[in-house]
Amino acid sequence: MARNTVSLMKRILITGAFGQLGVACIKQLSHRFNILAVDLFVPDDRKSDHALALDISDQTAVDQVKNEFQPDVILNLAAMTNVDGCELNPVGAQSANVDAVKFLADGFKGHFIQISTDYIFDGNNGPYSEADIPNPISVYGQTKWEADQYLESTECIVTTLRPNVVYGYTKYTKASFVKWVVDSLVAKKTINIVDDQWNNPTWTEALADVIERVIDKRLLGTHHYGGDRVMNRYEFAHIIADIFELDASLIKPIKTVELNQDAPRPLKSGMKTDKIEKELGIRPKSVETCLREIRNQLAS
């Protein structure tokens, strides 16, 4: 992992590299940058000199990787994202979502890109702009907001990106809403989907493209990103069923309160994207366009 003085490619350390967004970022960035992909576990088919198992809550291990790889950019995708799991294990959430960020940022003076979340807001009055005041209502949201604030006090050059309902379709993760809906409907399973949680869902590959643009432009500060329009999860599931030509009658509406979840959810959420659209000269793709691209990729 020692720096190759011959190579002039920017060096990017990607944490949480084998989650759904990490896989999309490796695909997007590896053709132009020198990537070191780290995660708690490296899938057998992804093991190489450019992938490493790393627990980012282990400060000694993190320091060793930073010292040896000498990244120009740290792209932090790693987090404890199980919202109910965070509520039940706040110590673990603090370690993964706050302490690990501190270890990554400590002594680093390069470009630090932090993936945050809409869960830092209470969900009373979304969609949210960068000027809106955070008010997290769950341990997950609280820890992510604490990490956002901490980074502002560091020597890093910081970009904080806040997407919401990040989705893709990859064998490496079960966290994707799209994958769960498609797999369930293919198996002819009836699924209950909340119709009172509102977001503008974010495709991993669209977000990876934004991240590449952020790196190229060295766009700093806090920016929100999401799909082209806000919808509820029930509506989103029906669009998924339509694009993949699956039986939408298996999708049943339910209210969030009926799920009896351990952590509260922000209901009326979503991200306003005006700022990043203007600064990067982009327009978010429609959910339908993104889902068709996913289906085409799966068919190829």
Please tell me the predicted confidence (pLDDT) of residue 176: 86
CA distance 179 to 251: 14
Please tell me the predicted confidence (pLDDT) of residue 173: 72
User: Tokens 């989705």 map to which residue?
Assistant: 167
Give the residues across from 111 on adjacent strands: 73, 157
Give, for all 300 residues of the chain, the pLDDT tens digit.
444 433 468 999 999 999 999 999 999 999 999 999 999 999 988 888 899 999 999 999 999 999 999 999 999 999 999 999 999 999 999 999 999 999 999 999 999 999 999 999 999 999 999 999 999 999 999 999 999 999 999 999 999 999 999 999 987 777 789 999 999 999 999 999 999 999 999 999 999 999 999 999 999 999 999 999 999 999 999 999 999 999 999 999 999 999 999 999 999 999 999 999 999 999 999 999 999 999 999 998
Please tell me the predicted confidence (pLDDT) of residue 6: 34
If 0-12 CB within 10 Å is exposed, 13-18 middle and 19+ buried, where does residue 198 land?
buried
Half-sphere exposure of 203 (CA within 13 A, CB side): 21
Q: Measured between alpha carbons, how far is residue 258 from residues 60, 196, 253 in Å?
A: 44, 11, 11
Answer whether 167's CB lies under 8 Å from 177's CB: yes
Most distant CA pair in the chain, distance = 59
| pTM for this predicted structure | 0.95
Question: How many whole angstroms from its chain centre is CA 210?
Answer: 12
Please tell me the predicted confidence (pLDDT) of residue 4: 43
Answer whether 138's CB lies under 8 Å from 182's CB: no
Contacts 24+ apart (CB under 8 A), 4-8: 4/34, 7/34
Please tell me the predicted confidence (pLDDT) of residue 46: 87
DSSP per residue, the chain: ----TT--SPEEEEESTTSHHHHHHHHHHTTTSEEEEEESS--GGG-STTEEE--TT-HHHHHHHHHHH--SEEEE------HHHHHH-HHHHHIIIIIHHHHHHTT--SEEEEE--GGGS-SSS-SB-TTSPP---SHHHHHHHHHHHHHTTSSSEEEEEE--SEE---TT-S--HHHHHHHHHHTT--EEEESS-EE--EEHHHHHHHHHHHHHHT--EEEE---SS-EEHHHHHHHHHHHTT--GGGEEEE-GGGG--SS---SB--B--HHHHHHHT--PPPHHHHHHHHHHHHH-
Please tell me the predicted confidence (pLDDT) of residue 275: 98
Pairing state of beta strands 111-115 and 202-203?
unpaired
Q: What is the C-alpha R_g of the chain?
A: 19
DSSP per residue, 75-101: EE------HHHHHH-HHHHHIIIIIHH
Please tell me the predicted confidence (pLDDT) of residue 47: 86
* CATH number for the domain running over 11-169+201-227+269-285: 3.40.50.720
